[in-house]
Amino acid sequence: MIEGLKGDELVKKVGGAFRLAALIQRRLKELIEGSRPLVESAGMTPLEIVVQEIKEDKIAVDYQKTEDLTPPDTSTVSTDLHSAATRSDSPKGALRHGDTGGLTT
């Protein structure tokens, strides 16, 4: 596993797990299409490069170019997936912890 993804440091840095996933996906696409890495990349996979770029503040979400997003208040970002999945303020019909939504395994 990639060390940078083990903790919640990157999740808090970008403002949530979904924002982190979107940022990683977009940057991976750029690297695959030929963009140059912004960090020393010898022997690293594209995913490791992206994680290192985020850790070194080489890439981030550009809130000025994104109308629908506001910068995160990192003091309130929850990285506890269990509590997020069982919150009482979840939208009606949202899956709750233990709910499979009708899916069977």
Q: pLDDT digit string (tens) for 62-75?
A: 766 666 666 666 66
pTM: 0.61
Q: pLDDT digit string (tens) for 35-66?
A: 999 999 999 999 999 999 999 999 988 766 66
Q: Cα(77)–Cα(17) distance, rounded to whole angstroms?
A: 9
The pLDDT, as a whole number, for residue 32 is: 94
* CA dihedral (16, 7, 93, 101) positive or negative: positive
Q: Cα(52)–Cα(78) distance, rounded to whole angstroms?
A: 22
> What mean pLDDT is reported for the chain?
76
